[in-house]
Amino acid sequence: MNLDARHIHPRLLVVDDEHDSVDSMCEWVGLSTEWTVVGAYGPADAIAQTQAIPPDAILLDMEMHGADGFETAERLCRASGDKHSAIVALTGSPELRDAASHDVRFTASMLKPANLNWLLGLLARLAHDDLATYRPAIPPV
């Protein structure tokens, strides 16, 4: 992975409109990996942060209040400019998870509650693989 000169560790942006979910996921991933983890409390915050410093990966809740996860993913892709950010869809809906798994904007998709061991494995692979070609299997339920 080609890391931006502004950070030496890969950068993960966790996006959800539930502050507790963002905060706990940021803390857990930050303690469990070498990723630099930052949170965004909704789509507007995520887009602003992505424009400022595009992350290497984005963990995106697909069901935020008043926000469509697919449109948010499209806006995040545009906000990151030339940098390809791997987007991982996180949802409580099996239908949305399946739809995201077939959408080229998403690198992976998983159901809530997140399978944390699978997520750690995914982050480890993303830190070392070419993000443009990485398409993992859907995690176990």
pLDDT in tens, 84-120: 899 999 999 999 999 999 999 999 999 999 899 999 9
What Rg, from alpha-carbon coordinates, does the chain have? 13
Which CATH code is given to the segment(s) 11-129? 3.40.50.2300
Q: Which residues pair with 67 in a beta bridge?
A: 64
Closest CA to 60 of 40, 90, 35, 39: 90
> Look-up: residue for tokens 């798994």?
101
pTM of the model: 0.86
∠ CA 83-8-75, rounded to 5°: 25
Distance between CA atoms of 113 and 46, rounded to whole angstroms?
21
Q: Does 4 score more than 60 pLDDT?
A: no
In the chain, domain spans: 11-129
Q: Does 81 score more than 80 pLDDT?
A: yes
Least confident of 21-35, 67-81, 97-111, 125-139: 125-139
Copy the structure tokens of residue 54. 């595009």
Q: Does 82 score more than 90 pLDDT?
A: no
